[in-house]
């Protein structure tokens, strides 16, 4: 895999990179030769993830940051360039998908929090990193979306809307930063991350998709490596499904 998706000499920043899909992508990028910036809310978790990256023989920079807070994101950008010198791949992975009892019982605070983390933060980070990547001659940005964007259901409508906005943002930024920076997305289906521990037992074993099961976190790695490497040099503005064939 590291030969096919060679990221030697590159630096990747993954938000929400301390666990779940983010950590799996961070480890996959490191195994392909990249140094990694791990950004997440809890510094202790960032440090633990960074230790795993260093154990793979790569440099790792942990940074505590709430991506839903607009004013905190410039600090992440500046610290990342100061510590690592460059950022070649940005993965906007941090997200949250709390369920509400009903739409009428969704508070403004919860609504804003969902939009902030799933859309506002990725928008701001892409707007900050994109021009620097253009000036450096190239880069790749990957937005982790959800099949909820195209199959919304009651109880998570704000989340579905935020991910639909993320898909639209992917296309818009691909046009803004072309031809030097490619911007793509991965529309993830059900994965057995920490969130799945709260699912009913049946949902952890079966899924409404062609494969009939949820995905293992490692199964997103190849899609991310493809979009982050030069193997996808003619792909931008695309959102790839990684969902087991959601029906």
Cα gap 86→227, rounded to integer Å: 18
63, 81, 159, 177: the active-site residue: 159
Say which residue the tokens 């976190």 belong to: 217
Q: Which two tokens stand for residue 47?
A: 């440090």
Is 63 an annotated catalytic residue? no
CB atoms within 10 A of CB 53: 25
Q: How far apart are CA 77 and CA 11, in angstroms?
A: 13
Q: Within a 13 Å sphere around the CA of 127, how many CA atoms are in the beta-carbon half? A: 10
Cα separation of 24 and 241, whole Å? 17
Q: Which residues, 6 or more positions from 106, have their beta carbon under 8 angstroms from its beta carbon?
A: 100, 157, 158
Residues marked as catalytic: 159
């Amino acid at each position: 895999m590291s030969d096919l998706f060679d990221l030697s000499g590159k630096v990747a920043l993954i938000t929400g990179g301390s666990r779940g899909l983010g950590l799996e992508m961070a480890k996959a990028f490191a195994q392909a030769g990249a140094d990694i910036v791990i950004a997440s809310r809890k510094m202790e978790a960032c440090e633990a993830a960074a230790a795993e990256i260093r154990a793979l023989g790569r440099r790792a920079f942990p940074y505590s940051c709430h991506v839903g807070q607009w004013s905190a994101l410039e600090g992440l950008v500046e610290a990342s360039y100061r510590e690592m010198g460059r950022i070649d791949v940005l993965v906007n992975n941090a997200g949250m998908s709390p369920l509400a009892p009903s739409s009428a019982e969704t508070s403004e605070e919860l609504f804003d929090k969902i939009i902030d983390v799933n859309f506002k933060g990725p928008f701001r980070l892409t707007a900050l990193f994109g021009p620097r990547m253009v000036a450096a001659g190239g880069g790749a940005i990957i937005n982790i979306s959800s099949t909820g964007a195209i199959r919304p259901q009651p109880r998570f409508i704000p989340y579905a809307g935020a991910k639909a906005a993320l898909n639209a943002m992917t296309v818009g930024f691909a046009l803004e930063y072309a031809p030097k920076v490619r911007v793509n997305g991965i529309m993830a289906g059900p994965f057995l991350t920490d969130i799945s521990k709260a699912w009913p037992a049946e949902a952890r074993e079966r899924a409404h998709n062609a494969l009939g099961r949820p995905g293992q976190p490692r199964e997103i790695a190849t899609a991310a490596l493809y979009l982050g490497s030069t193997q996808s040099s003619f792909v931008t503005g695309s959102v790839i499904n990684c969902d087991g064939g959601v029906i």
